[in-house]
Structure 1
Amino acid sequence: MEAIILLESEKTLRWYNVALIAFVSVWGLANVFNNFANQGLTVITSWILIMIFYFVPYSLIVGQLGSTFKDASGGVSSWVKETSTKRLAYYAAWTYWVVHIPYLAQKPQGILIAFSWLFKGNGNFVNETSAMTVSIMGLVIFVFFLWIASKGIATLSRIGSIAGTAMFVMSLLFILLAVSAPFMTHAKIQTPDMGAIKSYLPNFNFAYFTTISMLVFAVGGAEKISPYVNKTKNSAKEFPKGMLALAAMVAICAILGSFAMGFLFNGKDIPSDLITNGPYEGFLRLGSFYHVGNLFMILYAIANAMAQISALAFSIDAPLKILLGDADDNFIPKKLSKLNKKGTPVNGYAMTGILVSILIIIPAIGIGNMNELYKWLLNLNAVVMPMRYLWVFFAYMLLNKQYKKFKSGYKFVKNPVVGYIIGAWCLLFTAFACILGVVPKLNYSDSPSNYMFQLALNIITPIVLVALGLILPAIARRNKKDAA
């Protein structure tokens, strides 16, 4: 890690440094479980397609935007501001912040599940606890960490670094142990016909396309690596090389991880709680195969609990500071940016607390059990989180439209027309995935009322979150008028 920091400061990052930094930022073990739960073994083909037609161009687009606007501090909102208008830049910043609301609402549930496995050693908590009970407990946890984040406790930074490293190691360990288990321990392969090609061919029907948003959600977030473009030695050659290496690493982990899932779980009879309990159950089975008991599961539960706690605290603070840090009082009311003595935007925290609390409690009214509640919130995240990627592709399209105005040390494609088309493709594909993602991953025939309740929430929630961003500029204008 110290070597990487030194390389950063000297602006001599090599392609393999960039690939490793990006990999830790983008990838996680949960991506394997979530998408296997939706598609089974056919997800392997989906991973290959999403890498080639979406993830590679997405990563290289980020590279060009980061290189072009190397001095911009606001990330995506700065790119939009430079290529369009301040108003659109505000909407980009708002989108980046507001999509974290469902993310924050789910983190307390992840903490509860991790502690349940750590102390009880099984997944009964998920299957036996009512959604309302979990929501109340989750609300208490969220309010506590909202208070913690407002204090700016530095210890969380160290916890986050340790947890991130531990989760990365556990992800690789899972793949290594699970893929080798049938050969080293003679463990029985759970999915039948894993040697048949037909087992890997998706049925491209409506149900399949409703799961695409989860794949997009899994590979998103490449814009986080944009600051490293201009810290890369010979960025025009080495940065795209690093991005291709990143795509290869993610593809290998996704494909091998999905194979590993097929060894441990029956891909043709997927457990209903695979998303919630799957990682813990997987490590528990691996511990049994390798005769170490609960060791792997306990290590994962500890690492995941720390990661969830760290992510919750930082996701309360960091996105809000990005939104309010360079706030334009034409779009964001001054009261919202008000800081206390510790530099905490107290009113911004209050807004976060209100929105997250609503999203924690209301769904529990119509969703009866915790397992469905957790899966619903995950699906909602897969719908709203990719909305921020739309602004990346929008900025790239405008960049190509104004190619004579901007200079870049690295270009994904030299032809601006081709660049514009690629940006439009990525934007439309992301929008397509988000729209179809609102369809609940629940059989209508099993519970019509639950299905319709989830569908209504999936449609209403993104609309409300975006609409709030349209209201703030009107409030800001009125406040300025009153103050004049």
Structure 2
Amino acid sequence: MDNKKQLRWFTVGLIAFNMVWGIGNVVNNYAQQGISVVTSWVLILALYFIPYALIVGQLGSAFKDSNGGVSSWIRHTSTKRLAYYAAWTYWVVHIPYLAQKPQAILIALGWIFKGNGELLASLQIWQIQLICLVIFLLFLLLSTKGLSTLKVIGGLAGTATFVMSILFILFAVGAPMINKDVTLATPHMDQISTYIPKFNFGYLTTVSMLVFAVGGAEKISPYVNATKNPAKEFPKGMIFLAAMVGISAILGTFAMGMLFASNNIPKDLMANGAYAAFQILGKYWGVGNLLMIIYAITNGVGQIAALAFSIDAPLKILLAEADSEFVPAWLRKKTAKGVLVNGYKLTGVLVSIIILVPLLGLKDMNGLVTWLTNLNSVVMPMRYMWVFLAYMLLNKAIKEFNSEYKFVKNPKLAFVFGAWCFIFTAFACVLGMVPKENYADDPQAWIFRLITNILTPIVLILLGMILPKIARREKTKGVVE
């Protein structure tokens, strides 16, 4: 018996669920669409997430010996140049993500020590960003020293935060049974019409947040060939995953509707919604701030670990085995201890710019959180597009590759699925660039958000196109590594 192939479909589904899901997905999308996001969850799962997860399954099965993830898939199916751009994209989309982490840490600390979201609200925007910059640079320095202990603690905190997101649903749904004083904040929650969104242009600009929420399924790929029977067990696991995500999203949204009026969503919901929700539930259950404090501590530690890990891991994926044809020697430089010193410096410069840019056009904490969250929903899905491109290329040369599991046996139909997911992701990213806020409320901030949402992905991609030119110039000059 092959001991490595012992995972069953439900185990794979649970592992994937822990990787993909969290309460933030519910809060952020409720903040943008309100209770009608229930319908959006059903649509995004059926039309996008299930094909996405099953596509990843076939790629993982076809390239089971590849350790580089998406860039390896592209290299096998295309060229080294495209593989470099895939690796670059995977790394560079983490820049806005890293810029947001210090902010998330400060919010968690505010709720732990003050029991509310007023700590950052009392500070000016330049003070907040200066503190965020100091926190980031500190962790950037610590990352060069190695943070294995913190990453282990962070893994435990991440699991605890995941458990809290499940408990949030159970506590919310059970609250009316325990406390008769519980009232539904959103009116008409018993009517189907309440859950139907208005499919207009404004709605389309929020789709990127949904894509951002369900993205990251490529992390599941190492487990495809670890199942007892990949062709049968893996798709079962992914359907199980989709069902769990769907149930969590719908019940989580219902819980948010109980606590926050869908027709009067607080402006600080993205920043403080999860903490405020646990605070309200704690009062309903008669335990005061206990639930909120537990969530704030676990989430805070998880955010700290995510900051440390996300500085280190994506950089190693990009530079550990970087091709000298595309990545300059100075960027691949390592210290005697193997630290990618210039890679950390480049990360520090780019993230610092993202942290400081809001000083040019934003005035308050809520606007800052909303901008960075939306910016991440535009930039982060760019890496998913490489997954779908790899799948299309795989099916164009399907005879050259063998996989135990196939999402769709007909390569032409499979190519169509890949193209659909690719186009849908691009569509969501482009429309996601349009700010969701009303232009009339603050024209300067609206224009700032639009310009930065457009320029950030363009600049990050162009930077990746410059590096191969520098590498070529180094070779012509005979630079010694």
1:301 to 286, 292, 296: 296
Give distance in 1, aligned partners of 2:54 and 2:34.
29
Q: Does 1:200 align with 2:195?
A: yes
Under a length normalisation based on structure 1, what TM-score does the superposition of the two structures give?
A: 0.97
CA distance in 1 between partners of 2:200 and 2:147 (Å) = 49
Aligned to 1:278: 273
Matched residue SS, 2:276: helix
Question: Is the Cα contact below 8 Å between 2:151 and 2:308 reproduced in 1?
Answer: no
SS in 2 for 1:404: helix
Moved more, 157-166 or 53-62: 157-166
In structure 2, what is the Cα distance between the partners aligned to 1:99 and 1:312?
Answer: 14
Amino acid at match of 1:16: F
Contact 1:11/1:231 (<8 A) preserved: yes
Q: From 330, 343, 346, give the equivalent of 1:351.
A: 346
Summarize the alignment of residues 59-98 of structure 1 with structure 2, pairs less than 5 Å apart: 59-98=53-92
Q: After superposition, what is the alpha-carbon deviation per residue over 1:87-127, rounded to whole angstroms, capped at 9, x for unaligned?
A: 00000000000000000000000000000110011111243
Which of residues 237, 243, 254 in structure 2 aligns to 1:259? Answer: 254
Q: Which amino acid counterpart does residue 19 of structure 1 have in structure 2? A: G
Structure-2 residue corresponding to 1:4: none
SS at match of 2:188: coil
Q: What is the aligned counterpart of 1:410 among 405, 408, 411?
A: 405
How far the C-alpha of 1:328 sits from its partner, in A, is 0.2
Counterpart pick for 2:229 among 224, 231, 234: 234
Task: State whether structure 2 residue 446 is matched by structure 1 residue 451.
Answer: yes
Partner residue of 2:385?
390
- Taking the aligned partners of 2:200 and 2:88, their CA distance within structure 1 comes to 34
What is the match of residue 166 of structure 1?
160
SS at match of 1:388: helix
Report the equivalent of 1:469. Answer: 464
C-alpha RMSD of matched pairs (Å)? 1.1
In 2, Cα distance between the equivalents of 1:96 and 1:305? 25
Is 2:146 aligned against 1:146? no
Equivalent residue in structure 1 for 2:7, among 13, 29, 34 = 13
Equivalent positions of 1:322-401 (< 5 A) are 322-401=317-396
Distance 1:353 1:310 in 2: 17
Deviations 1:335-372 (A, max 9, x none): 11111122210000000000000000112221011110
> Given that residues 106 and 120 in structure 2 are in contact (C-alpha distance below 8 angstroms), is that contact kept between their aligned partners in structure 1?
no
How far apart, in 1, do the equivalents of 2:148 and 2:444 lie? Answer: 46
Distance in 2 (CA, whole Å) between partners of 1:176 and 1:92 is 40
Q: 1:94 to 1:207 in 2, by over 3 A?
A: same
TM-score of the aligned structures, taking structure 2 as reference length? 0.98
Separation of aligned partners in 1, 2:335 and 2:365 = 37
Count of residue correspondences:
478
CA distance in 1, matches of 2:430, 2:402: 35
Q: In 1, Cα distance between the equivalents of 2:430 and 2:38? A: 23
- Secondary structure of the corresponding residue to residue 302 of structure 1: helix
Letter of the 2:42 partner, please give it. Answer: I
Query: Are the equivalent residues in 1 in contact too, given 2:99–2:351 (CA < 8 A)?
Result: yes
Do the aligned partners of 2:211 and 2:425 also contact (CA within 8 Å) in 1?
A: yes
Query: Which of 239, 242, 245 is the equivalent residue of 2:240?
Result: 245
Taking every aligned residue pair, what percent have the same amino acid on both sides?
Answer: 62
- Aligned residue runs from structure 1 range 47-62, under 5 A: 47-62=41-56
Say if 1:182 and 1:189, in contact at 8 Å, map to a contact too.
no
Distance in 2, matches of 1:73 and 1:276, equals 36
CA contact (8 A) 1:84 1:398 kept: yes
> 2:264 is matched by which residue type in structure 1?
D
Residue 442 of structure 1: how far off its partner (Å):
1.4
Shift of residue 431, structure 1, vs aligned partner:
0.2
1:135 match: 129
Cα distance between partner residues in 2 of 1:381 and 1:8: 41
Distance of 2:398 and 2:198 partners within structure 1: 41
Contact 2:147 2:308 in 1 (8 A): no
Give the 3 Å change call, closer, same or farther, for CA 215–191 of structure 1 in structure 2: same
CA distance in 2, matches of 1:295, 1:27: 23
How much has 1:15 moved relative to structure 2? Answer: 0.6
Q: 1:176 aligns with which of 170, 179, 199?
A: 170
Alignment gaps of 5+ in structure 1 = 1-6
1:61–1:412 Cα contact (<8 Å) kept: yes
Indicate the residue corresponding to 1:214 in structure 2.
Answer: 209
Instruction: Please report how far the alpha carbon of residue 9 of structure 1 lies from its aligned counterpart in structure 2 after TM superposition.
Output: 6.0
Q: Secondary structure at the match of 1:249?
A: helix
Q: What is the identity, as a one-letter code, of the residue corresponding to 1:323? A: L
- Secondary structure of the 2:381 match is helix
Q: Which deviates the most, 157-166 or 328-337? A: 157-166
Measured in 2, the distance between the counterparts of 1:381 and 1:255 equals 23
The answer (yes or no) to whether the contact 1:151–1:342 under 8 Å persists in 2 is no
Cα distance, 1:11 vs structure 2: 2.2
Counterparts in 2 of 1:107 and 1:398: CA distance versus 1, 3 Å = same
Partners of 1:170 and 1:392 lie apart in 2 by 31
Question: What is the deviation of 1:133?
Answer: 1.0
- Deviations along 1:286-345, one digit per CA (max 9) or x if unpaired, are 111011111001001101110100000000000000000110000001211111122210
1:39 aligned partner: 33
| Residue in structure 2 matching 1:120, options 85, 92, 114 | 114
Alpha-carbon shift at residue 183 of structure 1 (Å): 2.5
